[in-house]
Amino acid sequence: MTEEKIEQGTCLRCGRVATLHRGLCIDCFRKSSEIFTIPDYIDLTVCRSCGAQLKGKHWEYGGELKDIIEDEIHSSLEELSGVEVSLEDIEMRRGGEGLYHVEVRAVALFPGGGVIPTRKALTVRVKSSLCPRCSRIHGSYYEAIIQVRGSGKDLLRQEEAVDRVLERVDQIARGDPMTFVTKLVKVRGGWDIYVGRNQSARRIAQEMHRLYGGDYKVSSKLVGRREGRELKRFTYLVRLPPWRRGDYLLKDGTPHRIEGFQGRRVKLKNIETRREESVEISSVETLAHYPSKEVEMEATVLYTSEREIVIMDPVSFAEVNIKKPPGWKRRESVKVVRVDGGIYLL
Ligand SMILES: [Zn+2]
Ligand SMILES: [Zn+2]
């Protein structure tokens, strides 16, 4: 494109002295030629289920039909050299099956400063199709199942875990449309979540295991062959441990805080001796369990002696003597754990 020459002069048609475009003033120029052109028709292929658009060989997700049409008009618009056209708005009216009559409002900006509003009309033909993601979802396609299982006592946590899986699927789906949930089934002891993409299911199941601890198992089943390759369906079992990190177990008469999980083992910290140990979950599963929010509390410090801190039991209001830990500094209240009538400094 060559730059339009801007010059001041006498309009060849009306004789007015003005900024000239190809020898004409803006008004005469506008009458004499097309400032910009758009095609009469635009053809689109759009998924009837989710609205994704087929561009070349790829499907683009997440655009509204109006935005897609605006983009298409933008990229097919041809303007006179030197003129800048900016689309103001488009108005869509449904015609027949898959047809939209579109009116385009635009303004043309001339290099000399002239602004001319313009309207043009075109027809958009929309071919309805089904994108690969939607055809898989409609066909109940899945590559893997995430099985979330719990102890049965803590249904709320199972649901929290399932919500987290669904949230992660949504997040991954933004970059990978083939990650989706086809089915969510309540089963005995938990939930089965059917996932469209195996890699995503595996990633999420591993994240869940890292987050919650407990048991994690992978199994697979041969479901067929395609082009000589084995087609497998994977199952990821995420078994939630019976307690949460931060909860307490009463072991050998002393509360132990659950510090974390490693596979089938749990890390416990004796809150009197501060010693940590790692034990099999199954070996401590029957111990009395205290959720942290039920047993952790603030207690007022009444006074201190050389070796002891005297606090008020926040439940019975009795005075309780606690051995002063080395290096303890005087403050108004302390955090304590109250388990089975005993009070322990945190
Ligand atoms: Zn003129
Ligand atoms: Zn679709």
Q: Is the pLDDT of residue 32 over 70?
A: no
What's the burial of 247, exposed, middle or buried (CB within 10 Å: 0-12/13-18/19+)?
buried
The rounded radius of gyration (Å) of the Cα atoms in the chain is 35
The SS3 of residue 16 is: coil
The whole-angstrom separation of Cα 236 and Cα 214 is 13
Q: Which of 22, 20, 16, 26 is nearest to 7 (CA)?
A: 20
Rounded (10°) angle between helices 198-212 and 155-173? 140
User: Can you tell me which residue has the tokens 């933004």?
Assistant: 174
Ligand nearest to the CA of 50: 2
pLDDT tens string 185-225: 999 989 999 999 999 999 999 999 888 888 899 999 998 88
Residue 302 has a pLDDT of 94
Ligand nearest to the CA of 138: 2
Domain 295-346 matching CATH 3.90.1570: the answer reads: no
The amino acid present at 90, given as its one-letter code, is I
C-alpha 184 – ligand 2 centre gap (Å): 20
> Burial code of 284-295, b = ≥16 C-beta within 10 A, e = fewer?
beeeebbeeeeb
Using a CB cutoff of 5 Å, list residues around ligand 1, an ion. 11, 13-14, 25, 28
Q: Is the pLDDT of residue 2 over 70?
A: no
ipTM rounded to 2 decimals: 0.65
Ligand nearest to the CA of 59: 2
Lowest mean per-residue pLDDT among 187-201, 287-301, 318-332: 318-332
What residue ranges do the domains of the chain occupy? 1-27, 34-131, 140-239, 295-346
CB 256 within 8 A of CB 345: no
Q: Is the pLDDT of residue 156 over 80?
A: no
C-alpha 282 – ligand 2 centre gap (Å): 46
The whole-angstrom separation of Cα 280 and Cα 278 is 7
Q: Is the pLDDT of residue 1 over 50?
A: no
pLDDT tens string 124-141: 999 999 999 999 999 999
Ligand nearest to the CA of 26: 1
User: Can you tell me which residue has the tokens 């369906």?
Assistant: 233
C-alpha 177 – ligand 2 centre gap (Å): 9
> Looking at the chain, how many residues does it have?
346
Q: Which residues contact 85 (CB under 8 A, 6 or more apart)?
A: 35, 36, 77, 79, 106, 107, 108, 109, 118
The whole-angstrom separation of Cα 124 and Cα 112 is 34
Ligand nearest to the CA of 132: 2
- Mean pLDDT computed over 7-29: 81
CB 29 within 8 A of CB 21: yes
User: Phi, psi at residue 310, to the nearest 5°?
Assistant: -110, 120
The whole-angstrom separation of Cα 65 and Cα 230 is 40
C-alpha 105 – ligand 1 centre gap (Å): 24
The whole-angstrom separation of Cα 72 and Cα 84 is 17
Describe the strand order of the beta sheet including 99-109 as a list of residue ranges: 58-60, 53-55, 41-47, 115-129, 99-109, 84-94
